[in-house]
Amino acid sequence: MKVTVLGINHKSAPASLRDKFVFNQDSLTKSLNEFKANLKTGVVILSTCNRTEIYSSVSNDKVLREWLCKHHNVKIKEINDHCYFLNGSAALRHAISVGAGLDSMIIGEPQILGQVKQAYRISENGNLLDNNLIPFFSKVFELSKIIRSKTQIGTNSTTIASAAVRLITKIFGAISDLNVLFIGAGEMNELSAKYFAKYSPKKSTIANRTIDKASKLAKKINGDSCLISDIEKIIHQYDVVVSCTGSQLPIIGLGMIEEAIKIRKHKPMFFVDLAVPADIEKEIENLDDTFLYNLDDLALLAQEGMDLRTQELEKAFRLLDKLLNDYLINQNTKNVPLTISLKNLFDDTKSKELEKAIKDIQKGIDPTEVCEKLARNLTKKLLHFPTKSINEDKNNAKLIKQIYKLKD
């Protein structure tokens, strides 16, 4: 599998840099098509709060870095020390560890496999896969599922939401005495809202760009709903604000919160920004009566109790390496009979043509003429099967191009 991955994640770069390389989900298909048009290969792009990774058959990491930086209008020197590039079995091992939740900010978190599958489906629906990516991700999904089912890596996994609740409780007291506003109704905020709901907030509201989606989530947590455009009028009513949208620009600005604090008569507010890029202007944390935490901040808190999960992590990686090793050995073994058959076919063709050439020389025919005839016949014989295959099915042309590395 000639698949490579170029990535930047929570281990290699701070949130401020990761923000710059997020792909907007609404325009991801356009970005994928641009990649394929420029680099002439299939592609899958995984872009989440904690990572941006490009899976393709491009073997030159500089080419990938240049495309990524040009696409996001970022100078390449900003990413050089913060990205990673893997190929072959190393790329496969990394992708499996991502899918199984072993490489997540919160070890064992369950959402990542669904995010990888969604990234794959977007490329699949856009006809943006190739013969390398299809088997690659098939194996990623298969082995990720086995690792999660045969280990307890996802058991009692501390979530970002639970870390936020612990911190809020320390600062404000019981969640049941607080009003909570959730901005965004996507998967991350749905998980957060459902977790907060266990602690029965005094009031819960879901704000979203569309009221239908906000209302649907609000019903699940027995809360209210509103449009994001209404936030400025009501935000002063809330003690806790949890935001996670796909907006490319901040939704909550310094001026909005300064006004809210005045109306609240300086009663503190707690902000949880789960979005990448950030939904909340960072300057808000400089106000006297505000607390602002982003994903990286909460991840540090979520690592409490890590010792128990470390044992499962080690077990999961041992299983991953065994599964991957067994698969690679099987692939190599599977290819041996085909390789031998091809060699025997070519050797047989060579022997027959060489025998004819020797007879011609013994007859006194000019050796130069004999050599030219030998070369022509070998070329003709070796071209016979590929040519016949293309004539029988035009779809085989693409495969022939890949095998012989031919250009259009």
Q: Catalytic site residues?
A: 49
Neighbours of 158 (CB within 10 A): 21
20 and 90 Cβ atoms separated by less than 8 Å: no
- For residue 268, the one-letter residue type is P
List C-alpha distances in Å: 325 to 110, 145, 209, 276, 318: 25, 17, 47, 35, 11
**Residue 12 per-residue DSSP state:** T
For the record, the structure tokens of 376 come out as 């022509």
**Most distant CA pair in the chain: distance in Å?**
110
Q: Of 197, 256, 204, whose CA–CA distance to 229 is shortest?
A: 256
163 and 323 Cβ atoms separated by less than 8 Å: no
3-state SS assignment for residue 309: helix
**Backbone phi, then psi, for 55, in 5-degree steps?**
-105, 125
292 and 285 Cβ atoms separated by less than 8 Å: yes
Angle at 157 between CA 151 and CA 163, to 5 degrees: 170
Pairing of strands 43-47, 51-56: antiparallel
3-state SS assignment for residue 170: helix
- For residue 60, the one-letter residue type is N
- Alpha-carbon distance of 274 to 10, in angstroms, equals 13
First to last CA, the chain: 22
